[in-house]
Amino acid sequence: MTTSNPHPLPSDPDPSLPRPGLLRGVLAPVVTPFRSDLSPDPARFARHCSWLLAHGCSGLAVFGTTSEANSLSVPERLELLEGLTSAGVAPGRLLPGTGCCALPDTVALTAHAARLGCAGVLMLPPFYYKEASEEGLFRSFSQVIQRVGDTRLRIYLYNIPQVAQVAITGSLLERLLKAYPGTVAGVKDSSGDWENTRAMLAFAPDGFQVFVGSELFLLENLRHGGVGCITAGANVNPGPIDQVYRLFQDPGAPALQAGIDRIRAILQRHGPLIPALKAVLAHFSRDSAWRTVRPPHVEMGLDETNRLIGELEAEGFSMRGI
């Protein structure tokens, strides 16, 4: 089977429409705030996104794993995305997650993001069927690209096999890049395996952007040609992580990396990570509503929260301006 595209993408219908730019640096998969009835809270979401952009994040990977995105419906994601742009968040700083189990859902979210002028989309493979073949995964991504049919579309493949149980392999990546050069713009490797990321960096053609999925690998990624990280830790620690990004060639960069590693280790010791991040946000913002998670997640208990906050404060951690 040929990997060429049998349905070439159309030209933009209006050249005045926004076109995506390339994001680099530190991106947060933004945690989603919920009201007491478990409905999303667009106003609180927009405030947190604005704080992140003002305190070290280059962009926002909304609707990522840390966002509890797979607990959100398509209409809820669309409402939150519209709320961000209405609140003044530039679409060019957004990389929304659009990968769903259902092809029409992925197409709807991806097309909307492209029309808004988002920098791109972060796309999980279809993850319900765990034994999907490479051919099946290739066809899934291909169908999304063809059905969206927008030359502004930039897809960042999301590799998180320990959660999705479906991996983005090197051979699949090679096929997609050959068939859709430019449209397949990058990858977020959340495998947690630096050797896997290094292999992607060695394989990547010029202009292909490789993000790591944790700040723990940020310095190594940058020193091997990567462009940044898309990391849960940026929800609460964006400034110090951004320092590593900006000063990665500086002799003091390893010490900066060690500092963000210590904070990440504390967060992970008190996991699961999503309730832990929300507990930290609730404490430092003095807004207990942040503790709310959607089932199947369960909020962190108060005793565990106190231990977590105590360890963070012993490291001098703070969230200025939150």
| Residue 94, both tokens | 């957004």
- 3-class state of residue 216 by DSSP: helix
Residue 156 known to be catalytic: no
Other Cβ atoms closer than 10 A to 255: 10
The DSSP annotation for 220-237 comes to HHHHTT--EEE-GGGGT-
| CB distance 292 to 34 below 8 Å | yes
Q: Which helix (H) or strand (E) holds 234?
A: none
Residue 245 known to be catalytic: no
| Residue 154, both tokens | 């930039």
Instruction: From the candidates 32, 106, 158, 197, give the one annotated as an active-site residue.
Output: 158
Which residues are CB-contacts of 280 (< 8 A; sequence separation ≥ 6)? 236, 267, 308, 309, 312, 319
Q: Which helix (H) or strand (E) holds 212?
A: strand 209-212
| CB distance 75 to 42 below 8 Å | no
Residue 188 known to be catalytic: yes
Distance (Å, whole) CA 146 – CA 270: 43
Q: What is each CA distance from 17 to 113, 153, 154, in whole angstroms?
A: 13, 12, 15
Residue 197 known to be catalytic: no
| Residue 95, both tokens | 């990389």
Other Cβ atoms closer than 10 A to 151: 16
Give the type of residue at 72.
L
| Residue 131, both tokens | 């034994």
Instruction: From the candidates 65, 98, 110, 305, give the one annotated as an active-site residue.
Output: 65
| Residue 28, both tokens | 């947060």
What are the residue numbers of the active site? 65, 129, 158, 188
